[in-house]
Amino acid sequence: MRALRRSWLLGMGFACILGAAAVTHAQTRSGADRPGSILMFPKVVRTASRDTIIQITNTGNSINWVHCFYLSAPDGSGYCGATDFELVLTRQQPTQWRVSQGRRVDPSDSFGDPGAGFDPGLIPPVPPGFQGALVCVEVDSNGNPFGQNRLKGEVTVLDDSNGDVAKYNAFAVAALGQGQDNPLNLNDTEYETCPGQLTLNFSPRGSRDPVVEALGNASLNSFISTNLTMLSCNLDLQAGVRSNGTVSFIVYDEFESPFSGSFPYQCWSTIDLGNTPQTTGQFRSVLLPGGAINTIFAQARLTPSGTGLVAVVESAHADQAGVVGTAASNLHTSGSAVGTVRLP
């Protein structure tokens, strides 16, 4: 009897462990706080004053081959032309570069130079005026998709004219197996899915910054603006075709008053919330003409149609002297939506 009871308890223990493991797997989703097999950097810019530093790390203990693609949409047409390059990362190797400069293969770099360390491969610079994204995929030595979930990435957008910086993490999509076919299906079978909903906490355009006001640097003339940059999870890196869709949104102010609407998106899109026709009222303070939000803080829930989206938000805070500070962040993600990434 005692032996039977022990067996029954042992069986229940194993069942609980298996159940917990199943729940953990069901709750696992790709995100910006863990390594993965596909890295998505939604916002990469090079302007007269702003530049972007990319950091990629191989978190594994063996060599990792990576195929990367700059996606450019300079005219806002949504057509994402791709420029590719390859990296070879040794175990636990980080690497970094400025997108305006790229990175050479030069073993003579002295310690302290921007290109010092083991060069992972020739990285081309982006042209002046570049605005777009970067996507990197784990592959094998022959260039075939090979998921190991060892990549993580960070971005620093900096203004060389005043030293202002804004940082965010790359969105990492995890592979559910090693040898994968092309195209890459983000469907919870080959790779994990993309987010089905994004949550954005923001201050409506035209709001006064309470911190700047409290410091006495504004005299009620501070100003907040918010820029949202989105990258579709449905990408054709071979043909570079458009990926069109619609984002539906509901905005809640601090009193939970709802404001809804929608706006179009393409393979890569960036919009100035509160200064775009489809979002003027719902993302703009009543301090500005056409604004509907009467509180300093608000929350927006964004739901894309057709495929998943990854996004980053960058807010700019200005005082009355015109001094501007920026901050970037990843959006909170929930739900799931499928996507497809086609490699050349």
**240-256 pLDDT, tens digit each:** 777 788 999 999 999 99
pLDDT at 3 over 60: no
Instruction: Please give the pLDDT value at position 92.
Output: 95
Q: Could you count the other beta carbons within 10 Å of the beta carbon of residue 342?
A: 14
Once rounded to an integer, what is the mean pLDDT over residues 13-28?
39
Q: Among 104-108, 171-175, 265-269, 298-302, which is the least confidently predicted range?
A: 104-108
pLDDT at 18 over 50: no
Instruction: Please give the pLDDT value at position 214.
Output: 86
DSSP state of 274: T
Q: Among 94-98, 155-159, 279-283, which is the least confidently predicted range?
A: 279-283
- 0.85 cut: is pTM over it? yes
Can you name the CATH fold of 197-342?
A: Hypothetical Protein Tm1070; Chain: A (2.60.290)
- Where are the domains positioned within the chain? 38-186, 197-342
**319: nearest Cα among 238, 219, 170, 189:** 219
Residue corresponding to tokens 């596909």: 38
pLDDT tens-digit map of 59-91:
999 999 999 999 987 655 667 888 999 999 999
Measured CA angle at 55 (ends 69, 88), to 5 deg: 60
Q: What is the largest CA-CA distance in the chain?
A: 82
